[in-house]
Chains A and B, each alone.
Chain A
Amino acid sequence: MPGPFALFKWQAVLRDWQVFAEGFGMTILVSVLALVLALVLGILFGMMGTAQTKPLRYLNRIYVEFIQNTPLVIQIFFLYNGLPYLGVMLPVFWVGMLGIGVYHGAYVAEVVRAGILSTPKGQFEAAYAQGFSYWGAMRYVILPQAKRMAYPPLTNLAVNLIKNTSVMAMVAGGELMYHADSWASSNLYYGPAYIITGILYIALCLPLATYAKYLERRLEVSA
């Protein structure tokens, strides 16, 4: 049977499974590290977004608006091809991790900010009354409550982050999409290649998305 899904093309995918496995591993590694970076940045900037001092709030706005209103593709392209002109040659792995981490950090910041704002003001006042400082109240009273609100959207962000690692394909990033592109464009067995790649992404994202749904449901019950 000829056509894009001919049997021999599927056999070729299975024969070259290591190509896909290598990319899959890289995608997971970049995703995990970028997620950690995004969470750290997001919590930091999210708290700044609700701070009383204006400069901190401005800093939060600059970061969030700048990142959210430019395409990830351009940010990655800048890190990859722009920075070398400024004398900074980041390895492509770092380009991917930093680019994707910083990009999603902005979204995490908004989720964290919303979580903090959704915590009743009385909680702050009660914490102050107990002698907590602003950061102390944040750490021990507000964030633990905000966390519950923020969990479901954060899990969805993690799903998006995983999918967005595919932009690294553009700069020869060595992750799943890059290997799929490379393999499929050399022998033109693109049919099975992209289906397998899609299934691998589903294998990563679907459990997370399902977990997000579960968290959301639990939130409704407890709220």
Chain B
Amino acid sequence: MKKIITLVLSLIMGLSLVFAAGCGSDPAPTASSGSGDAPDIKAVKDHGVLKIGVKVDVPKFGFKDPNTGKVDGMEIDLARALAKKILGDESKIEVQPVTAKTRGPLLDNGEVDFVIATFTITEERKQSYNFSDPYFEDGVALMVKKDSGITDLAGLNGKKIGVAQSATSKQALMDEIKKQNLKIDILEFGTYPEIKTALDSGRIDCFSVDGAILAGYLDDTTVILPARYSPQLYGVAAKKGNEGLTKVANDTIADMKSSGELDKILTKWGLK
């Protein structure tokens, strides 16, 4: 009995340590020292490199080429533009692969300065992270096997849809399913390749995620249906409290929009 009490006590102490660390790492509210740079920007400058969390499994946005080992895509181009703005050199970026599951924690513990990883802006998420203005808009789309003969959401009645663990596509689909009064199971997977594998093996009948991401997984046996549901807005995310970084992201995106640079990048990656 005594042992159990000791164990519970040490557990509580451990947890409270985590708590304390969580509070302690919050930067003091911007003291706006006269030197011009916000403390978060200054930290990046001192470090000399901008640390960015990107996807490595989303062709066209952030994808690691298995042949060259290089990570490239529209979001990496955006990261370069941010590095140029902050550090004056677009090559000063350090990309780190993130998934839907790791991108939040990596921002919180300061491993990355920005997450640019097809991160959909939602009200709920805004409570935890700072989001920039959107740099891309896309709707949730459906991919099915060609030989299934399915042409719309109603055709999936009684079947299964696989989505990635990030509820924006799940929520969008659930709303639409409810509206059409259908009965469809939604299964969540950790990564996009896992969903594609499940579609190939027949575990699920449909792979659903934002249209542009889906396009990267299109092959001879599959087809993307024309319907699009609830537009998803992608934003650059920074840790709560790093208002300086978010402002730079907003400025950069606004500049790129007005100069036509953003359109050029989107065209380059075939996203327009």
- Evaluate whether A81 and B170 lie within 8 angstroms (CB atoms) in the complex, with A3-B25, A178-B188, A190-B105 already known: no
0/1 per residue, B118-136, Cβ < 8 Å to A? 0000001101110000000
Q: For residues 132 through 182 of chain A, which have their beta carbon under 8 Å from a beta carbon of chain B?
A: 169-172, 178, 181-182
**B241 CB-CB contact with A under 8 Å:** yes
CA distance A159 to B166 in the complex (A): 30
Shortest beta-carbon distance, A76 to chain B, in Å? 12
Mask: chain A, 186-203; 1 = CB below 8 Å from B; 0 = not: 111111000100000000
Task: Using CB atoms, name the residue of chain B closest to A85.
Answer: B201
Check if A172 sits within 8 Å of B189, measured CB to CB: yes
Chain B residues within an 8 Å CB radius of A210: 4
Query: Across the interface, do A2 and B201 meet the contact criterion of CB distance under 8 Å?
Result: no
Q: Does B165 contact A (CB under 8 A)?
A: yes
Q: Is A129 an interface residue (CB 8 A)?
A: no
B103: nearest chain-A partner, CB-CB = A188
- Is A170's CB under 8 angstroms from B202's CB? no
A4 to B194, CA, bound (A): 28
Q: Which A residues are CB-close (under 8 A) to B168?
A: 186
* Contacts between the two chains (Cβ within 8 Å), count: 89
Question: Does residue A45 face the partner (Cβ distance < 8 Å to B)?
Answer: no
Contact status B201-A4, CB under 8 Å: no
Q: Return A18 CB to nearest CB of chain B, in Å.
A: 16
Distance in Å from the Cβ of B29 to the closest Cβ of chain A? 11
- How far, in Å, is B227 (CB) from chain A's closest CB? 22
B188 touches A188 (CB 8 A): no
CB B234 to nearest CB in A, in angstroms, measures: 15
Instruction: Tell me the nearest residue of chain A to B185, going by C-beta.
Output: A172
Is there an interface contact between A185 and B240, defined as CB atoms closer than 8 Å?
no
Which A residues lie within 8 Å of B100 (CB)? Answer: 185
A188 to B99, CA, bound (A): 12
Contacts of A190 in B (CB 8 A): 101, 104-105
Report Cα–Cα, A48/B88, bound state, in Å.
71
Contacts of B203 in A (CB 8 A): 80-81, 84, 89, 171
Query: Do the beta carbons of B124 and A187 come within 8 Å of each other?
Result: yes
By a CB distance below 8 angstroms, the chain B residues around A195 are: 15
| CB-defined contacts of A85 to chain B, threshold 8 Å | 201
Q: Are B18 and A5 in contact (CB under 8 A)?
A: yes
Q: Which residues of chain A come closer than 8 Å to B124, judged between CB atoms?
A: 186-188
Measured CB to CB, the nearest residue on chain A to B197 is: A81
> Whole-angstrom distance from the CB of A41 to the nearest CB of chain B?
26
Complex Cα–Cα for A4 and B21 (A): 10
B5 at the A interface (CB under 8 A): no
A221 to B128, CA, bound (A): 55
CB-CB under 8 A from A1, the residues of chain B are 23, 26
Q: Given A172-B187, A172-B189, A84 and B201 touching (CB < 8 A)? A: yes
B→A interface (CB under 8 Å): 4, 7, 15, 18-19, 22-23, 25-26, 100-101, 104-105, 108, 124-125, 127-129, 162, 165-168, 170-171, 187-190, 194, 197-198, 200-203, 240-241
A-B contact list, 19 entries, CB within 8 Å:
A1-B23, A2-B128, A2-B241, A3-B22, A3-B108, A5-B18, A80-B203, A81-B201, A84-B203, A89-B203, A170-B190, A170-B194, A172-B198, A178-B188, A182-B167, A185-B166, A186-B124, A187-B124, A187-B125
